[in-house]
Amino acid sequence: MADNSSDVLPGREARAHLDHFATAEQQRNTAMAGMWIFLVTEIMMFGGLFMAYAVYRLGHPQAFASASRDMNIVLGAVNTAILITSSFTMALAAQAAEEGLLRPAKWLLAATILIGIVFLGIKFVEYYQHYRDHKAPGFGFQTNLPDPGGIQMFYIFYFAMTGLHAVHMIVGIGLLAALLIMTELGRFSREYHSPVVITGLYWGFVDIVWVFLFAIFYLPGLHLHG
Amino acid sequence: MAEPTVARKIYLRAYAGLLSLTLLTTLLAFVNMGWFNTVAALMIAVTQALLIGGIFMHALYETALVRVILAGGVLWFLILITLTMTDYLTRSR
């Protein structure tokens, strides 16, 4: 990519690296290692929930399959595509920031925020439909399917795991909004842009979690007939 | 700079691959393959995770330290799954 100076905003407070780092590269590698360690703790947190889901699904295979038939597969699949699109724009935003192309980076960050909000909007519609259909445990849960206990467990995992994921999305949108403001204030430059890249890692991780949530909550019952 | 620049074409291909896999996994879920439905859905999800992690999150291009950290996380998650399943998969019902 050729250096396009018109796309580089003046970096008022942009500095190569902080005093306690020897080089900008060391600062960058430290930031990356720290963020990946944080993401590993996130793997552990979601991992425990996936593990618990697996145990209960083994115990109630029919109930989990028939409960997942009531998921809205169209909204689920569309939302998966939407979140993947936001990861794509996020990756491009981080790349643009690395190249010092701050104006495109700003637009890509804004696009990522908007796409993230659309995802949450669709999720909210789904939650409302579950609530309306008496599928929310603790809020007048009802089902005519066999093994109501197993069905309810499916929905408890569904709300806990997609809810925790949604909280991560809300946090991510807040982080992206902060990045947008920092970019506008000229905090980033071709030399210093780790916050953008690190937030990109977080956003990508949240997308990976969703890919697995889609696989375990929306897909299991689709092949069953009747 | 230290970070490698990934060609936009690679991002675009990863994005196209991710969308195709989403369509594929959704369509496959309607076909009754017995226990293989779950395996197929998880295999496609893992492939998608590798595309997002490896390309969008640059794990493929990161330092050895980051790769060790990531491998540690995945390893410990597999220990969690394996040891728990040695119990639940071997119980007589």
Q: How far is A55 from chain B, CA to nearest CA, in Å?
A: 7
pLDDT at residue A75 greater than cutoff 90: yes
Residue A18 binned pLDDT confidence (cut-offs 50, 70, 90): confident
Q: A55 and B19: CB-CB below 8 Å?
A: no
Written as one letter, the residue type at B68 is V
- Taking contacts as CB-CB distances below 8 angstroms, the residues of chain B near A81 are 19, 22
Q: How far is B43 from chain A, CA to nearest CA, in Å?
A: 10
Q: Residue range A109-131: average pLDDT?
A: 97
CB neighbourhood size of A75 (10 A)? 16
Q: Residue range A144-156: average pLDDT?
A: 94
Per-residue confidence (pLDDT) for residue B1, from 0 to 100: 42
Q: What is the pLDDT of residues A42-60, one digit of tens each?
A: 999 999 999 999 999 999 9
Integer CA distances (angstroms), A149 to A88, A143, A225, B1, B93, in order: 40, 10, 22, 56, 18
Q: A77 and B23: CB-CB below 8 Å?
A: yes
Per-residue confidence (pLDDT) for residue A22, from 0 to 100: 87
Please compute, for residue A83, the number of CA atoms within 13 A of its CA located in the half-sphere on the CB side. 32
Instruction: Determine the Cα–Cα distance for residues A48 and A144; give it in Å rounded to an integer.
Output: 30
pLDDT at residue B91 greater than cutoff 50: yes
Which of A1, A35, A69, A88 to mutate to test binding with chain B, by most B CBs within 10 Å of its CB?
A88
- Taking contacts as CB-CB distances below 8 angstroms, the residues of chain A near B81 are 51, 54
Q: B1 and A55: CB-CB below 8 Å?
A: no
Per-residue confidence (pLDDT) for residue A136, from 0 to 100: 92
Q: B45 and A87: CB-CB below 8 Å?
A: no
Do the interacting molecules here have an ipTM over 0.85?
A: yes
Of A48, A211, A218, the CB nearest to B48: A211
Q: A88 and B15: CB-CB below 8 Å?
A: yes
Residue A191 binned pLDDT confidence (cut-offs 50, 70, 90): confident
Residue A8 binned pLDDT confidence (cut-offs 50, 70, 90): very low
Measured between CA atoms, the residue of chain B closest to residue A35 is B66
Q: What is the mean pLDDT of chain B?
A: 91
In the three-class reduction of DSSP (H, G, I as helix; E, B as strand; rest coil), residue A191 is classed as coil
**% of chain A with per-residue pLDDT over 90:** 77
Superfamily of domain A23-217: Cytochrome c oxidase, subunit III, four-helix bundle (1.20.120.80)
pLDDT at residue A11 greater than cutoff 80: no
Per-residue confidence (pLDDT) for residue B93, from 0 to 100: 60
Locate the domains of chain A by residue range: 23-217
B83, exposed or middle or buried, with CB in 10 Å at 0-12, 13-18, 19+? exposed
